[in-house]
Structure 1
Amino acid sequence: MNHSPPLGLAALEQAVRRDLEMLNLPAKDWVPRRPGVRDVVVVGAGMNGIAAAGALKLKGIRNIEVLEAAAAGQEGPWVTYARMETLRSPKNLTGPCFGIPSLTYRAWHEASFGLDAWNALYKIPNQDWQDYLGWLQRMLRLPIRHGVTMKSIQPADGLLRVVTDSGEPILARRVVLATGRGAVGGMFWPGFVPEEMRPHLAAHTNDMIDFAALRGKSLAVIGAGPSALDNAAVAMINGAASADVYVRRKVLPQINKGRGTGSAYHHGWGELPDEDRWQVMTYIQDLQAPPPHETVHRVMRLGVNIHLDMPTASVRREGDKVVMRFADGSERVHDFLIVGTGFLVDMDRVPELSAFAPHIARWADRYVPPPELVRHDLAAFPYLGAGFELLPRDLGAPPELKQIHLLNYGAHTSFGGIASDIPAVAIAGERVALAILRGLFREDFAKLREELEAFDEPELESTPFFVPRS
């Protein structure tokens, strides 16, 4: 049997440089500079931030800055609160590769581990995906500042003032918020679980949890989504005595309809009439997605107990114990509770956007569905423009509102999974970059026209037909 040794990252990186050179990328830096002003600030250096910043740079919009709160190698959820063993998507995801084969995940994997390793791979391990994204940051030479947290965005006479945790103000013409799933309202904490139980007796699946402290203890988990099951699995791996998952449904969802929305949906969803977008979104949401079969096998292998048709009615604390009361009146006692109830969408709970929040259009402001399709959670999502930009709900909205682009979970109702799931990340980055390019070009057209008129490179100077200027 012939084995293919790894190509090596050095050779791949040379191929990347050659590909970019052959494609004349990045494009010429064409945006007229404004002293003290960034053309774009991208908040978040995870996969969406890379997709946006990379697409902008390749299009010649280079006066950009990427702010990332986490340390290098910790961006996004992949090695923090995403507790699955591998990504949930197929391995043949291209990643934010900008249409360049040498920048795909597969190219990186084969160069790092060899073709045989690629052929044997089932799904991408989280750490490998994180390492690949870090490699993309380096190959694209993205101007990232780690350890910087955005605190607020404020209107500033046609610009946006981004204020960081150090108090530093950064003026920008556009801001892209590539800030993940919890960035438009935070984690959803159910009202029947007392908030004061957190963090000593309860946590959300997206909290940083000390699983070692659960060794020998009894764990309860609410919800049967992938994150809920993955947290139960990690607890058992770390020595929990037991893990019981309580599910309100009698039967788990069976088909992930979201996987039936391919590239045509990713490209075309934003151009559909509101009625069609709403109908598809409610259809997918009502059916819900099952946990991946790998996750189910994992928790079964580890001895996690899944209890269907056991909706939680209330939770209370008794001493150092968690008492779960269910809809049928029965109760069970555990040492710790993990809540897997997803994320809240509420633009009024996004502190960074408090200066704009009252004026941000929601779906409830723009579309009234028929009574049978009313979904208040979907109606709370912001109603975004074609380039993921916020739109005004009233005449008093600051004009700068449209200069903020939501490349995060806030785009879900407007664009489907394009801005929150891996398969469409490159398409999302391209869409937002093109929208920003068109906006900057329009705003700077007078200056660009002057540059055009000043362009003076005589083509025929070396020929007999050259006419010198008088």
Structure 2
Amino acid sequence: MYDLVVVGAGPYGLSIAAHAAAAGLRLRVLGRPMASWRAHMPAGMLLTSEPRSSSLAAPGGRHTLAEYRAAQELTAEPGAAPLSLDTFTAYGRWFGERAVPQIDEVTVTAVRPDGDGFQVETDTGELIATRTVVLALGLRPFAHRPWPLLELPPELASHSSDHHDLSRFAGRDVAVLGAGQSALETAALLAEQGARPCLVTRAGRLRWQAPPPPDGGRLRSPRAPQPGPGTDWPHRVWARAPWAVRRLPSATRVRLARTPGPAGAWWLRDRFESAVPVLPGHRLRAAAPHGDGVRLHLTRTDGRPETVGTDHVVAATGFTLDLGRLLLLHPRVRTGLRTVDGSRAPELGPGFEASWPGLFFAGPLTAPSFGPSMHAVYGTAFTAARLLRGVQRRLGDRRGDRRGALAIPRPARDSAPTAAGGGPAPDAPAGETLH
């Protein structure tokens, strides 16, 4: 029986696995490294988090993005310059090759309770017994599609996370729904691939973030990482104190878990405004096939109806964190977990353990417990170290001796965790703010 099975091989899964392997746990890691980033984000996309905030977490601060760039002889860009998706996904795979002993590139189909542990089933038919399991699944299971699009076939309607190669839309009309970074960048990339995009948004006007001050600003240390553009000061403060967020009232935690209102990154504005027409103040009321395309029935803010015809519609409408969507989790576990009041996210203990003993979560689904840093890559530093301690405590309990848990260095409880890149750190959309 394994001590820990990590389900997912994105930034969180790889960082947790690196810590567990270094601590000597009997470990299995299941998933395709950086698969969501490689297959479900448009090629050409740039991360909204700064490079200084985009290192995965390994014990001792090893295998950083800076080390990868040096090893690949890549020129380091200025601190505020955006990081390309291709560079980040290549870095993540490089990190996994060095920090994680073995990754089984399989899909997990079921996680079931089994005695005082779990049974994990893969698409190859393998059944894996483990004492503890962590679900580090990222955002893909939680893609939100507006209800008017749900009955349209995939050739007419999709979610922004369905696409990597946007060149298939060259020469076609594409309506993009949304007003956040994902919608704005998807529309810009579509235009650059030869499509004819149009942005449809309920917002009366688009919001753009200002570029960061060249000196980092008076209130920010030049070395301090931040989640990415669009994060206001309350979110920045709480992003640096995830251990403190968990002690707040549930309503406050749920509010902090939501990213601020939709806005675009400063470096995207010129590309977008020169290429993409916008229909502001339009709400989607209905959608239906029409000829070879789709007809969108919209309502303006003044109540007047409008109809738009397009070949395809892309919903860049974000994600809904809902335990009910994790169908791989046995129904008895999924429906029995305590959730954060006002949300459908699991209520977690200080070591990221859910109310079902031995079940741990990592990534965006933990934001209602630990705050906005769980939406970005730099949250891996806090998560990996703290979650591993939770796993070790659980293993010690099940062996009947808490001292039986393997030991790792414990940072001071009320000091900021150290980011893999060396600066004080507090997890993106998009994203890395996770997209």
- Scaled by the length of structure 1, the TM-score of the pair is 0.74
SS in 2 for 1:54: helix
Instruction: Give the equivalent residue in structure 2 for 1:326.
Output: 298
Alpha carbons of 1:80 and 1:207: their partners in 2 closer, same or farther (altered >3 Å)?
closer
Contact 1:55 1:433 in 2 (8 A): yes
Aligned amino acid, residue 286 of structure 2 = S
Shift of 1:98: 3.2
Q: Secondary structure at the match of 1:249?
A: coil
Uncovered stretches (5+) of structure 1, i.e. residues with no partner? 1-36, 365-377, 392-400, 450-470
| Structure 2 SS opposite 1:167 | coil
Q: Partners of 1:96 and 1:265 in 2: how far apart?
A: 17
| Cα displacement (A) at 1:103 | 2.0
1:187 corresponds to 2:156: no
Residues of 1 paired with 2:317 and 2:332: CA distance?
29
Q: CA deviation at 1:287?
A: 4.3
CA contact (8 A) 1:381 1:410 kept: yes
Return closer, same or farther for 1:213/1:138 CA change in 2, 3 Å cut-off. Answer: closer
Provide the rounded CA distance (Å) in 2 between the counterparts of 1:319 and 1:379.
Answer: 40
1:354-393 alignment to 2 at 5 Å? 354-364=331-341, 378-391=342-355
- For residue 341 of structure 1, the aligned residue among 308, 317, 330 is 317
Q: Do the aligned partners of 2:235 and 2:256 also contact (CA within 8 Å) in 1?
A: no
How many angstroms does 1:253 deviate by? 4.4
Equivalent position amino acid for 1:144 in 2: I
Go from structure 1 to structure 2 and tell me whether the alpha carbon gap of 1:235 and 1:175 turns closer, same or farther (over 3 Å shift): same
Task: Provide the residue aligned with 1:257 in structure 2.
Answer: 231
8 Å contact 1:41–1:67 — kept in the other structure?
yes
SS of the residue 1:161 aligns to: strand
Post-superposition offset of 1:346: 2.7
- The separation in 2 between residues aligned to 1:411 and 1:205, in whole angstroms, is 23
**Residue 120 (structure 1) shift:** 8.3
In structure 2, which of residues 52, 64, 69 is the aligned counterpart of residue 109 of structure 1? Answer: 69
Shift of 1:168: 1.3
- Contact 1:101–1:107 at 8 Å: present in 2 too? no
1:409 maps to which of 364, 380, 385: 364
Out of 88, 91, 97, the position equivalent to 1:138 is: 97
SS in 1 for 2:367: helix
Contact 1:94–1:106 (CA<8 Å) still a contact in 2? no
Of the structure 1 ranges 135-144 and 436-445, higher mean CA displacement relative to structure 2 is found in 436-445
Return closer, same or farther for 1:41/1:101 CA change in 2, 3 Å cut-off: closer
Choose 1 or 2 for highest CA Rg.
Answer: 1
Which residue of structure 2 aligns with residue 293 of structure 1? 266
Which structure shows the higher helix fraction? 1
From 4, 20, 28, the counterpart of 1:65: 28
C-alpha displacement at 1:281, in angstroms? 4.1
Structure 2 equivalent of residue 244 of structure 1: 198
Match for 1:279 among 230, 248, 252?
Answer: 252
Whether the aligned pair in 2 keeps the contact of 1:84 and 1:227 (CA below 8 Å) is no
Query: Number of residue pairs matched?
Result: 380
Provide the C-alpha distance between the structure 1 equivalents of 2:322 and 2:100, rounded to a whole number of angstroms: 35
What is the identity, as a one-letter code, of the residue corresponding to 1:176?
V
Describe the superposition over 1:93-134 as per-residue Cα deviations: whole angstroms up to 9, x where unpaired. 2512336354221122133225x5445882221111111111
Secondary structure at 1:145's aligned position in 2?
A: coil
Match of 2:394 in 1: 439
Cα displacement (A) at 1:270: 5.2
**Which residue identity is paired with 1:123?**
P
Q: What residue in structure 1 maps to residue 86 of structure 2?
A: 127
For the residue of structure 2 that corresponds to 1:196, the secondary structure is coil
Alpha-carbon shift at residue 336 of structure 1 (Å):
1.0
Taking the aligned partners of 1:259 and 1:142, their CA distance within structure 2 comes to 39
Q: Please state if 1:153 is matched with 2:127.
A: no
Deviation, 1:244, is: 0.6
Tell whether the 8 Å contact from 1:47 to 1:76 is kept in structure 2 after alignment: no
| 1:83–1:176 distance in 2 versus 1, CA, 3 Å | same
SS at match of 2:2: strand
Q: Contact 1:83 / 1:231 at 8 angstroms: preserved in 2?
A: no
Distance 1:99 1:66, change over 3 A: closer
Structure 2: how far apart are the matches of 1:280 and 1:158? 31
Q: Give 1:141 deviation, angstroms.
A: 3.8
Q: 1:118 to 1:348 in 2, by over 3 A?
A: closer
For residues 159-213 of structure 1, the C-alpha deviation after alignment (integer angstroms, 9 at most, x for no partner) is 1000111221100011111110133xx32221122x3323111111111366333
Q: Output the CA distance in 2 between the equivalents of 1:120 and 1:89.
A: 10
- C-alpha distance in structure 2 between counterparts of 1:410 and 1:416, whole Å: 10
Equivalent position SS for 2:272: helix
C-alpha separation between the residues in 2 aligned to 1:433 and 1:267? 18
Q: What is the alpha-carbon distance in structure 1 between the residues aligned to residue 273 and residue 309 of structure 2?
A: 22
Give the aligned partner of residue 46 of structure 1: 10
CA RMSD in angstroms, aligned pairs only: 2.7
Counterpart amino acid of residue 325 in structure 1: H
* Whole-angstrom distance in 1 between the partners of 2:23 and 2:81: 35
Instruction: Call closer, same or farther: CA 1:100–1:55 in 2, change over 3 Å.
Output: same
Shift of 1:252: 3.2
Residue 152 (structure 1) shift:
0.8
Question: How far apart, in 1, do the equivalents of 2:256 and 2:387 lie?
Answer: 27
Contact 1:202/1:338, CA 8 A, preserved across alignment: yes
Answer whether contact 2:243 2:350 (CA < 8 A) is retained: no
- Structure 1 Cα separation of the partners of residues 386 and 79 of structure 2: 34
Distance (whole Å) between structure 2 residues aligned to residue 408 and residue 434 of structure 1: 17
Match of 1:168 in 2: 126
What is the percent sequence identity of the aligned residues?
Answer: 22
- Give the Å deviation of 1:78: 4.5
- Taking a change above 3 Å as real, the CA distance of residues 324 and 91 of structure 1, as seen in their structure-2 partners, is same
> Is contact 1:51–1:425 with CA below 8 Å preserved after alignment?
yes
* Larger RCO, structures 1/2 (Cα 8 Å, 6+ apart): 2
SS in 1 for 2:140: coil
State the distance in 2 between where 1:160 and 1:418 align: 29
Partner of 2:182: 227
> Is this contact kept in 2: 1:258–1:284, CA < 8 A?
no
Give the alignment partner of residue 428 of structure 1, picking from 361, 383, 404.
383
